[in-house]
Each structure stands twice: as C-alpha cells, then as structure tokens.
Amino acid sequence: MQSFSLIDKHSKKAFDYKGPDKWAELTKAQFMLVMNAKATLSDSFKQAILLVQLLFAVKLQSIKKLTTVQAIQLAGIVNFLFEGDQEMGAWHVPKILRRMKEPLYGPGNKLANITFAEFMFADICVENYLKTKDEKFLNQLIGVLFREGNEKQKFETGDIRFEFNKAKIDAVVLEAEKFSQAIKNAVLINYLGCKKALIKPLKNVFPDRKEQQDEKPGQSQSWLDVAIQLARKEHALGSLYEIEKSNAFLVLKVLDKVIAESVEMQEELNSLKS
C-alpha cells in the first residue's frame, strides 16, 4: 500500500489518503473500476487522475484545487497501472453474463484449475494479440478460459466450469465479440498477472530471459514445443492426450524437473569431454 497527503490551501489542513501500489493489491471491485476507466477514457493523464479519485477516494473538488504540477505529481501515484508484466494472484473476473443472463465461468486464482491444453491455447491467443493487437485474439482467449458450468460440480472437481472442449471455443468466441472492451481488457490483464504468479517457481521452464547470456537449444521454438518434446522423450507425463487433460501447474512442475535434470546431465557430460 502507499499513502500521500493533500493540504488545503485555505484551511491549511492536511488530508491523508491510502491506496494500492501494485496490481496484486487491487480488490475485485477496484480492478473492474480500473478496467472501465481505462476503456472509457483515451487520454492517459485523465485516466490517471480518475483512477486516483476512484482508488484513493479523493474528492473531485480537491483535485480541482491542485496546480498543474501538483496534478501531474498526483497522477504518478498510479503509474503502476500503466506498467505491464505484474504479478496478480487473484482472478477478478469469475463470470461473464451472456444472452439471457446465462453465466460463463472463468478460471480460479493463479489459474490453479486450468488444464495444460487450456494453458497452451490461452498462451497462443495472448501471444498473437500482443503481436498484432487484433481483438479477435482477445475473443479467442475468452473462448478458451470461459465456459458454462455447474455450481455443484465444484465440490467434486474443484472447477465450476465444464470440462475444456476445443470444439466449443468458437461458440463462446461469437458471444465474446459482443462483450465490452473493459471485460476483454480485464481478462487479458488478469491472465497475464495470474500466469506470472503461476510460473514464478518454475525457473527452468520459464527462465529469466534477461539473465540468460547464451542462447540454448530450443530457444527459437516456443517453450510449449520444447515442453511437449521433452515430455514425449522422457515419458514422464504419459501420452500427449493425458498431458492436455492434466492440471497445468502439475505438468509444468514435472517439466521443470525434467529440464533441470537434463541440463545437469548435459553439464556432467560436457565436463567429461573437457
């Protein structure tokens, strides 16, 4: 959390404000306020000022009394909302209403209940969107992550959603085309934040590219290609069908170990050659 004070120039009284300083500290309600504000206003400065009002409960009349310099400084309080690649454990879009108020349910916190197949498809959608900015990939992302469900089955499987079925993605995509921009942006930002939380302990499957000095075999491929090849080669995770049906984190955890062991073995072999 972060805090700041504003001093009324007439009464000289100081007013203290407190609010979040990272995405992970946003409540569900605050998260959607941010998404709606950013989708409604195109000017980033106006967005920032509005977000300060919403997240820190600063009254508009207090904002109007600020000088231009003070307003710019105050807008900087929410700079974190304009920076990408931030960890976020909570899933803030649990369901989206469609048609006659029928809900489509999303994944859980930290994407803990998604299968490896979902993870692969979702990652492809996100990668394509970030490259092209084509909204159809956001619609596809929603089609992968959101589907109908049953409250009762959550007690049995831990997931309110029906089983992932690639054949049913297109039907949801058609629905997603009608969703607001705020909802689409919310799903994207939430996915990226939860993915970062999910993969944080998986240093071998998701190495820090900034720390890597030498290119390693397979870097020209996607990590998903490398992961599936390793799984097939090592037979550590069963058939590809079984991998797709398995929990994403459990698969990635095994792959992380397989990669670590492979690297260790290669280093031992290299030491014997020298």
Residue spans of alpha helices (H) in 59-180: 60-64, 68-75, 116-132, 136-145, 154-157, 169-176
Which pLDDT score is estimated for 213?
45
State CA 124 to chain mean position distance: 14
Helix (H, G, I), strand (E, B) or coil at 164: coil
pLDDT digits 0-9 by tens, 185-202: 999 999 999 999 999 999
Q: 214 pLDDT band (50/70/90 cuts)?
A: very low
**Contact between 55 and 80 (Cβ < 8 Å):** no
- As a whole number of angstroms, the distance between CA 82 and CA 57 comes to 19
Long-range contacts of 34-38 (CB under 8 A, 24+ apart): 34/81, 35/182, 35/183, 35/185, 35/186, 35/189, 36/182, 38/81, 38/182, 38/185
Higher pLDDT, 157 or 79: 79
181 vs 239, higher pLDDT: 181
Q: What is the pLDDT of residues 154-164, one digit of tens each?
A: 776 778 999 99
Say if CB 172 and CB 143 are below 8 A apart. yes
Q: Looking at residues 4-29, what average pLDDT do you find?
A: 90
Mean pLDDT (whole number) for 142-156: 87
* Mean of the per-residue pLDDT values of the chain: 87
Question: Mean of the pLDDT values across residues 38-52?
Answer: 95
Residues written for the chain = 274
Ordered alpha helix ranges (H), 208-247: 223-234, 240-245
- The yes-or-no verdict on residue 234 having pLDDT over 70 is no
Residues 126-132, mean pLDDT to the nearest whole number: 96
- C-beta of residue 108 within 8 angstroms of C-beta of residue 159: yes
- pLDDT score for 218: 39
Closest C-alpha among 89, 95, 113, 74 to residue 23: 89
Least confident of 168-172, 196-200, 210-214: 210-214
Q: Which of 104-108, 116-120, 260-264 comes out lowest in average pLDDT?
A: 260-264
pLDDT at 180 over 60: yes
Helix (H), strand (E) at residue 79 = none
Sign of CA dihedral 11, 14, 16, 17: positive
| Mean pLDDT to the nearest integer, 119-139 | 95
Strand partners for 7: 14
Range of 84-93, 121-130, 261-270 with top mean pLDDT: 121-130
Mean pLDDT of 24-32: 96
Is the per-residue pLDDT at 216 higher than 50? Answer: no
Tokens of 43: 């000017």
Per-residue pLDDT, 178:
93
What is the reported pLDDT for 220?
45
- pLDDT band, very low/low/confident/very high, at 271 (cuts 50, 70, 90): confident
Res 132: pLDDT: 97
pLDDT band at 215 (very low <50, low <70, confident <90, very high): very low
Q: Are strands 102-105 and 95-98 parallel, antiparallel or unpaired?
A: antiparallel
